Amino acid sequence: MADVEHEGGPGLHQSLFRKESNLDKYRRMVIGDQGWLRTIYFEFVILFFSLIPGALGLFCRKYLYRPLFKRVGKNVIFGRNLTLRHPHKITIGDNVIFDDECLLDAKGETNSGIKIRDYVTIGRFSSLVCKNGDIEIGPHVNIGSTVKIIIAENGKISFGSNIDVGSNCHFSGGSYDYSRSERLPSTQRLPTKGISVGDFAWIGVGVIVLDGVQIGKKSIVGAGAVVTQDIPENSIAFGVPAEVVRER
């Protein structure tokens, strides 16, 4: 069998198998370097209140989750079993709704994290994941269920205002060099270009948006499209890869 090059394993393995205690690994990856009092508070709130159903759970989380974040506005609703990583780097505006089972991961050593503005809805099982990058969601954005928004090293994914994102979409803010077949593609990351979605855009169900793409204002991307290049303003695009079929 041919030799396999092991140098530079997956990023999660490099983080988990550092020479440090399991508790220090957990704090670094989940909570961040926030001191022991914040660590204890985080553990207490997540353990006892994240899974409480009904109105009681919503009421408790509304107030007890606030100190976990960098900033939380008025009338924020936190659903059940919200997974948080580095919440001290997450800013949330007014009247924001998080449905059950969402993931907010602002991890990174040099990034700003996640900023969610007013009147945003994040659907059930959706994920906002920073890998030392930034995510910004503008006001009046509706994100459907099971949407994945992932940004890699030093990149940014930004959504303007008044945007609808259908269920099962994937925004992939990162790309890889796969020319060296003896190495994992995930260990050959290319510089991140980022993704932007303009005001009043509509992203249909199951759309995949690749790194470096800009979707213009008031454009529509049809269900199931794979967007590999920019979509101009006021355009309607469909297909794999997505192509503009007409103006809106």
**How confident is the model over 218-239, as pLDDT tens digits?**
999 999 999 999 999 999 999 9
**How confident is the model over 82-119, as pLDDT tens digits?**
999 999 999 999 999 999 999 999 999 899 999 999 99
Whether pTM > 0.85 for this model: the answer is yes
Instruction: Give me the half-sphere count of Cα atoms (radius 13 Å) on the Cβ side of residue 205.
Output: 2
**How confident is the model over 201-219, as pLDDT tens digits?**
999 999 999 999 999 999 9
Contacts of 183 (CB under 8 A, 6+ apart): 5, 7, 8
Domain that holds residue 78: 69-175+183-247
Answer yes or no: is 201 within a domain. yes
What is the per-residue pLDDT for 19? 67
CB atoms inside a 10 Å sphere around CB 65: 22
Answer yes or no: is 60 within a domain. no
Answer yes or no: is 38 within a domain. no
Q: Count structural domains, the chain.
A: 1
CATH code where residue 140 lies: 2.160.10.10
Q: 123 versus 182: which is more confidently predicted?
A: 123
Answer yes or no: is 193 within a domain. yes
DSSP summary character for residue 87 = G
Answer yes or no: is 44 within a domain. no
Give the percent of the chain with pLDDT over 70.
92
Answer yes or no: is 106 within a domain. yes
Contacts of 91 (CB under 8 A, 6+ apart): 69, 70, 71, 113, 114, 115, 116
Structure tokens at 103: 């993931």
Answer yes or no: is 51 within a domain. no
**How confident is the model over 34-46, as pLDDT tens digits?**
788 999 999 999 9
What is the per-residue pLDDT for 178? 73
What is the per-residue pLDDT for 6? 47
Q: Is pLDDT above 90 for 24?
A: no
Mean pLDDT of 136-158: 97
Give the percent of the chain with pLDDT over 90.
76
What is the per-residue pLDDT for 188? 75
